[in-house]
Amino acid sequence: MGMLDYVRGFKVTFERLFDERVTTEYPKEKRPKPERFHGRHVLNRHEDGMEKCIGCELCAGVCPAKCIYVRGSDNPVEDPVSPGERFGFVYEINYLRCIHCDMCVEACPTQAITESKLFEFSFTNRSDAIYTKSELVVDDEGKPRKQPWELWHEGDDLNTSGWMRATSSAGRVEYEGVVGWSGELGHGVRSPEVGQSATASSEEGA
Amino acid sequence: MSNETASEGVMVTINGMEISVQPGDLVIDAAERAGAHIPRFCYHPRMSSVGVCRQCLVDIDTGRGPGLQPSCMVPVSEGMVVDTESEGVKRVQEGILELLLINHPLDCPVCDKGGECPLQDQTLTFGPVESRFIEEKRHYEKPIAISDLVYLDRERCVLCDRCTRFAREVAGDPLIHFMQRGNQTQVLTFPDDPFNSYFSGNTVQICPVGALTAKPYRFRARPWDLSEVESTCTTCSVGCRINVQSSRGELLRYQGVDIDSVNHGWLCDKGRFGFEAVNSDERLGTPFVRSDSNPDELVGTDWNTALEAAASALKAASGSSVGVIGGARLSNENAYAWSKFARTVLSTDNVDAQLGDGLCAEMVMSLPRATIDDAATADHVLLLAPDLKEELPVLYLRLRGASQGSTKLIELAPAPTGLTRYTSAAHGYRPGEMGQALDELLGGATGDAMRSGRTVVVIGRPSLADSPGEVEAAVGVAQRLLPEATFLPALRRGNVLGALDMGLAPGVLPGRIANDGSSQAWIDTHWGSIPTERGMDTIAMLEAAASGRLHTLLLIGADPLADVPDRDLVERAFAGVAKIVAVDTFATASVKRADVVLPTTAFAESGGTTTNLEGRISTLGRMVTGPGTVRDDWTIAAELAWRLDADLGLESLPGIWAEIEAVAPSHARCSPSMLSADSEGVLVPLPVVAVPEPDEIADDDADTSEADTSEAEVDEEQAEGAAAVVEAPSVPASVSWSAPALVDPPAVDGYALRLVARRRLYDAAVHTSQASSLAALADDSTLRVHPAELGSLGVESGSRINVTTARATIVLQVTADESVPRGVASMGFNQPGISAAELIDHREPVTEIRIETR
């Protein structure tokens, strides 16, 4: 064993020395989240400020963890909360139960509930873990409201993932990719992703 | 399919399967039985077929080749070949649904029907994947209130004619109709007439889309939130079968369950929306005792203190100085517990479930009992009853339906009722002269016609302003002149017949046996020794209390101040009695006068069984938990017994039922498995099945519910050792009753009007006033008098007048009403702001009132 072996042992180290650094100073620094990341929910509003939630309880019905509690009520005519007859009167999500599966987002007929990319919260009691409507509904700019126990940095609230539907309602393959996601903060349309059938056929081809 | 039906049925081929069906059956029903569900919107088995929705088109081949025909309009015929799944049928089903959805809004997420909607479900199963129609949908004003209880959303309507047909055919309130033509066709009420039907809630239940929704349920929950249990409505004594639905421990909805023998799936609105009273914030949740420092105040306390106070109040009284009033609102098990408590612990026979507004218990129990079906299929129904539309609405529906067929309704009433327009003959009588009028009626041709066919007599109190003796004498007349007739008691409170069967009446023990010494051996083996001296009924108890002979009054869900037809007597009784103990769900007028108040569970908060007016026992479902620390009645009774150094030996509801089966001869062999097996319930007494010798059973008419009421026969059977009965002491005889003789009617006072006081469906009682949607419907707080009478008195309709009897003078609004006979004044018994009880003196055979301008 010569001196050279000792230097050869550092080969990988020297090779990587001038590469781009992958370690980030989390939590001071954060890496961008993947596009489909599932964080805590927000309840979106229309651009005129009305709530998108109509209290239909489809999210609660589809929730596999049974963590959502919704109750609808008659929309007050003089001061409507949402467009239409009914609005979400009570909306609660228990984050001790939520598994962030995004089924509620798929079920929502009005794109009212979407998941942001915020996930860092540390509760000190159980009631803080139950987000009520006042905590979930976005602010006037369409951004999530920061709770005292949540860790955010500047700009973390800009991405709310948006609404998506995997397949058409009838489950037909040709609808795949036609219906896109809504854009960030629940507004606009994001271009469709490649559907499962397209992926499948390209794999077959390869 | 049994061989029996196969022999008389018609053979048809449905989807290649040959089956035998009853002649006259519709193809849609036959296919259902063959396992092929045909989609439908307009077809409803309890209403006539109209074939308007076209959704049930199927290929029917009767020898001329297959062709599309609506299966709800075509009866089966021999050799018919039906195909419900052909290509053509699929195309037409898709087509119809696509057309229905041209204008049906897709607001399913906010629609109360969403999730349980036949249009949703059938579109998913039979509909096209996609619509070709991209045009804007038709728009109407979103929900319009067509009554105080029902909203109509015309955008969603698919014009199936179910609600309009129900209103016209079943309820007889044709207040909603199709309007306009063609594309503009819509269901609407008349401009100035809301859909004020007592049965409007049924249209919401049968609407196949969300066009009709109920206000009390609007946006309260989605179908998948609801958990449900089958139960029996105890709002009145008809005993409609219902599904009780709740979410998160709150009652949200009752839905009618279709059973053949009682309600056919229909409910009245008072029953349907009565869950609001159970949910009411005014429910008593803690016990109360009267404050020592301030006798005007009831203070909340704990159960221990309250039960101790109640026990000491009861201990201070002896058997003859205690009275137990009420129990008609309880389950059979709870009524049994109180009955046993009164007899064995309090050693008193002063018990009465009725409040002086019912009928003699012995009479009700000893008359041969008819069923609702008997009445609906009889040749003649003689109505000696209150206004059934107001008091027993679903019985009204059944009799109204029967009157559309071959059943003739004959009414004898002091003033017209809701059924009068459906009778073949409606006779009036002057209050006080019912027996004489009936004697005359049955003596003539009407009587002959009724004697020649099957007749059911519906008996009740046509007016609470008259003495009950009048009805008893009239029933005697009916029994004498219609010896073959059977009787249906039209008593009102939920489980009043069950309470009487459980012995909550003086002189009567559980199982319709008399407490007169003859049953001593029997009851001794079960209960130990009890007083056999006949006790007092409610009126007698109140009189005793008024004269200071009663120390303690125990009120079990009873409000004598509101319900006894003599307010003055109740006031004097409450003043004369030392202690009042009330067990109730609400702070009623009477409860507010009590010294100890024990809160108890309400409907759907406890299980058990109930008995309807036919004697049909059906189960009650427990769905929610009561407010605060409420307890079941039987646990209160057991707890009080323990504090009075006794043990009722009751430990659970099933245990109580087992004891009832053993103690009450009429309920023998009615096992819990029989009760839970069938929504229809069990009619007691069960036909005797002991078969030692065939000639013995020949005596028992298995068709009538009163199979073993003829006392002598039962005794003989027991003496001969019939194997059916378990215990050594012989089963005592059923109660007997002999009709009082007709008395001369009271002399007519030419200056006075005779009062007819009848209950209305929506009145001032807690069941209505505590249900927020129903409370506003209680109106008609007026006195109705014929305009000619008003004219002769010089009183204007609508003015406020003094109404005077020997008892009191009260101020009422008077309304001219041509339907009220002359010489009579009609009013609701207990409407908001007025109470006929203030005018009535129970000792008088009739109530004569004088009207004076103020």
HSE of B651 in the Cβ direction (CA atoms, 13 Å)? Answer: 3
Q: What residues have CB less than 8 Å from A59, skipping those under 6 apart?
A: A68, A70, A103, A104, A105, A107, A108, A113
What are B707-718's pLDDT values in tens digits?
Answer: 444 444 444 444
pLDDT band at A34 (very low <50, low <70, confident <90, very high): confident
Whole-number average pLDDT of chain B? 92
**Helix, strand, or coil (residue B126):** helix
Q: Do A57 and B222 touch (CB under 8 A)?
A: yes
pLDDT digits (tens, 9 = 90+) for B227-259: 999 999 999 999 999 999 999 999 999 999 999
Residue A55 contacts B, CB cutoff 8 Å = yes
CA–CA separation, B700 vs A78, rounded Å? Answer: 70
Q: Is B107 on the interface with A (CB under 8 A)?
A: yes
Q: Does A21 touch chain B (CB under 8 A)?
A: no
B751 touches chain A (CB under 8 A): no
pLDDT digits (tens, 9 = 90+) for A60-89: 999 999 999 999 999 998 999 998 899 999
Residue position matching structure tokens 């057309």? B99
CB pair distance less than 8 Å for B142 and A85? yes
The per-residue pLDDT for range B379-397, each reduced to its tens digit, is: 999 999 999 999 999 999 9
Has residue A184 got a pLDDT over 80?
Answer: no
- Residue where the block lists tokens 């007092």: B536
Task: For residue B754, list its beta bridge partners.
Answer: B824, B848
pLDDT of residue A163: 56
Count of CB contacts below 8 A, A vs B?
Answer: 40
**Number of residues in chain B:** 854
Assess A56–B contact: CB distance below 8 Å, yes or no: yes
- Mean pLDDT value of segment B462-490: 95
Query: Which residues 6+ apart lie within 8 Å of B529 measured at CB?
Result: none
Taking only the tens place, the pLDDT of each residue in B538-568 is 999 999 999 999 999 999 999 999 999 999 9
Listed range (A99-103, B119-123, B435-439) with the worst mean pLDDT = A99-103
What is the C-alpha to C-alpha distance for residues B624 and B228, in angstroms, rounded to an integer?
10
Task: Return phi, psi of residue B736, to 5°.
Answer: -120, 165
Closest CA of chain B from A89, distance in Å: 10
| % of residues, chain B, pLDDT over 90 | 87
The residue-averaged pLDDT of B426-444 equals 95
Q: What are the counts of helices (DSSP H) followed by strands (DSSP E) for chain A?
A: 7, 7
Q: What pLDDT does A160 receive?
A: 67
The predicted-structure confidence for B305-355, as pLDDT tens digits, reads as follows 999 999 999 999 988 999 999 999 999 999 999 999 999 999 999 999 999
Report the C-alpha gap between B433 and B422 in whole angstroms. 24
Nearest Cα to Cα of residue A52 among A166, A163, A178, A169: A163
Per-residue model confidence (pLDDT) at position B606:
94
CB-based contact, A63 to chain B, within 8 Å? no
Helix pair B118-126, B87-103: axis angle to 10 deg: 140
Cβ(B265)–Cβ(B258) below 8 Å: yes
Q: Which of B109, B142, B218 sits opposite A54 (nearest CB)?
A: B109
A86 touches chain B (CB under 8 A): yes
Residue A74: CB atoms within 10 Å: 14
DSSP, res A186? G
Q: Which residues of A touch B109 (CB under 8 A)?
A: 54, 56, 58, 109-110
Phi then psi for residue B619, to 5 deg, are -85, 155
Q: Write down the residue that tokens 């050869």 correspond to.
A: A8
Between residues A55 and A181, the one the model is more confident about: A55
List, for residues B748-788, the tens digit of each pLDDT value.
Answer: 988 899 999 999 999 999 999 999 999 999 987 899 999 99
Q: What domains are there in chain B, each with its CATH number?
A: 3-85 (3.10.20.740), 136-233+252-274 (3.30.70.20), 288-355+497-661 (3.40.50.740), 361-490 (3.40.228.10), 753-853 (2.40.40.20)
Q: Is the Cβ of A77 closer than 8 Å to some Cβ of chain B?
A: no
Taking a contact as any Cβ pair under 8 Å apart, which residues of chain B between 136 and 165 contact chain A?
142-143
Stated pTM of the model: 0.90
- Inter-chain CB proximity B218 and A74 less than 8 Å: yes
pLDDT at B603 over 60: yes
Of all residues in chain A, the one with the smallest CA distance to B115 is: A58
Cβ contacts (< 8 Å) between A56 and chain B: which residues? 109-110, 114, 222
**Nearest-by-CA chain B residue for A62:** B224
Residues 211-270 on B with a CB inside 8 Å of A are 218-222, 224-225
Residue B728 sits at the chain A interface (C-beta within 8 Å) = no
CB atoms within 10 A of CB B463: 28
Using an 8 Å CB-CB cutoff, list chain A residues near B225: 57, 60-61
CB contact under 8 A, A86 and B114: no
The answer to whether residue A57 neighbours chain B at the CB level (below 8 Å) is yes
What does the pLDDT look like over A145-168, one tens digit per residue?
999 999 888 878 877 666 555 444
The alpha carbons of chain A give a radius of gyration, in whole angstroms, of 22
Would an 8 Å CB–CB cutoff place A170 in contact with chain B? yes
CA B93 to chain centre: 41
* A139 close contact with B: CB closer than 8 A: no
Please determine, for residue B846, whether its predicted confidence score (pLDDT) is greater than 90. Answer: yes
Is the pLDDT at A43 greater than 70? The verdict is: yes
Residue range A18-43: mean pLDDT, rounded: 85
**Residue A28: what pLDDT?**
84
Q: Which of B125, B219, B224, B247 to mutate to test binding with chain A, by most A CBs within 10 Å of its CB?
A: B219
d(CA B330, CA B606): 10
Mention every residue, 6+ apart, whose C-beta is less than 8 A from residue B279: B250, B251
Q: State the residue for tokens 């009028």.
A: B437
A56 and B224: CB-CB below 8 Å? no
* Confidence at residue B715, expressed as pLDDT on a 0 to 100 scale: 45
Bridge partner residues of B144 (DSSP): B152
Stretch B6-24: mean pLDDT: 87
| Cross-strand partners of B618 | B610
Option in B110, B129, B130 nearest A56 (CB): B110
Mean pLDDT for the stretch of residues B141-148 = 92
Chain B contact probe: residue of A57, A75, A167, A174 with most B CBs at under 10 A:
A57
Q: Summarize pLDDT for B361-378 with one digit per residue, the tens.
A: 999 999 999 999 999 999
Q: Average of pLDDT values for B183-199?
A: 93
Q: What is the pLDDT of residues B655-669, one digit of tens each?
A: 999 999 999 999 999
Bridge-based pairing of strands B596-599 and B579-584 is: parallel
